[in-house]
Structure 1
Amino acid sequence: MSETRWVVLGRVVGQHGLRGELKLFSYTAPPERIFDYRVWRLKAADGREIELKRINGRVQGKALIVSLPGVLDRDAALAWMDAEVSVARAALPPLAQGEFYWADLEGLEVVTLEGVSLGKVSHLLSTGANDVMVVRDAERERLLPFVPGQWVQQVDLAAGRIVVDWDPAF
């Protein structure tokens, strides 16, 4: 595989029909936007990876259905269950100032206003009210609301750091 940085935008969640079609769960908004990306990387649960350049997909009711080259029956489709669908980070549209893709925040160090390190962003969760950063260090895991201006004071992607107004004892 190339040195391209990939961002997970979906997951194979089932099979559809007898001809090897797959059902997708998309993290894009709206979900069918995942079909706008012409190059995908599919990573199976067993570690196999393929890069796809021609994606044939459609919306069928509430489901997203995709056909993969060489996947022609239900047995072949089963081999891709739970596979992650990724696209190149460079293919994502630019964001407005102050907006961030979750993939860009993952791995950043989180420090308090006083410079105390709380750990690194493992991943983020959506709670409906606001997004939450899961911050881990060697000793513990913290859930910090990602609310710019209130808890999140600065995001410096170049420095790999997020500054938060947070009590390290909490």
Structure 2
Amino acid sequence: MVNISINKPFKPLLIGKVGKAYGILGWISVFSFTEKEEKIFKYLPWFFYKEKKWTKVQINNWKKHKNNFIVQIKGISDRSKARKVTNSDILISKHKLPSLKKNEYYWNDIINYEVFNVDKHYLGKVTSLIRTKNNDILIIKNSLEKFNKNILIPFIENQIIKNIDTHYKYITVQWN
């Protein structure tokens, strides 16, 4: 039997960020980027990425703390070791996410989709999304010189977002 140790995620997906050390026993603050923040703990194992170096980590314990979490990582037992992982990105292998049905998508999948309005005018590419209290927002970048600005489009399905084509990777919007 061959024992293969994976030290880097397959198709890495960013799900959080390591904050500062918490206390003297090696706990660290963690910021979740998942839609429901506690779901970050369902996608294990985690990989920390900092300064072009990957580290696979195992969580011993975690707690909700104020608006984020504090986490105890196996092998990190004091504040000085915890400081070494501060500002690391937290990534997982993308296949850890639940499977989707046809025409469903994860937000990270629509990054780089082409965006057209209903009149078939090209608006640009999706560069990121912003979560707000009322509705989410698509950030579109058009590289044409005369439109070299970001376009912010509210992500309101059926009203503004008319179609998301996951096969051809484009989005149609009601936008001028």
- TM-score of Structure 1 vs Structure 2, range by shorter chain: 0.7 to 0.9
Residue segments in structure 1 that go unaligned for 5+ positions in a row = none
| 1:109 shift after superposition | 1.3
Specify the alignment match of 2:153 in structure 1. 144
Partners in 2 of 1:144 and 1:47 — Cα distance?
A: 34
Question: Is the aligned partner of 1:78 residue 2:83?
Answer: yes
Q: How many residues align structurally?
A: 165
Aligned match for 2:22, one of 1, 10, 16: 16
RMSD of aligned alpha carbons:
2.3
AA at the equivalent of 1:160: K
Deviation at 1:163, TM superposition (A): 1.1
TM-score, normalised by the number of residues in structure 1: 0.83
Distance 1:3 1:36 in 2: 15
- Stretch deviating more after TM superposition (3-12 or 127-136): 3-12
Shift of 1:99: 5.2
Tell me how far apart the structure 1 counterparts of residues 97 and 64 of structure 2 sit (CA, whole Å). Answer: 25
Quick check: 1:35–1:57 contact (8 Å CA) kept in 2? no
Structure-1 residue corresponding to 2:13:
7
TM-score relative to the length of structure 2: 0.81
- Contiguous gaps of at least 5 residues in structure 2: 1-6
- Identical-residue share of aligned pairs (%): 28
Could you tell me which amino acid in structure 2 is paired with residue 136 of structure 1? K
**Residue 56 of structure 1 corresponds to which residue in structure 2?**
60
- Alignment partner, residue 110 of structure 1: 115
The equivalent of 2:137 in structure 1 is 132
Secondary structure in 2 aligned to 1:90? helix
Q: Deviations over 1:54-99 (max 9, x none)?
A: 3223115435222234333222222222222122222122456765
The secondary structure found in structure 2 opposite 1:158 is coil
Tell me the SS of whatever aligns to 2:38: helix
User: Is the partner of 2:116 in helix, strand or coil?
Assistant: strand
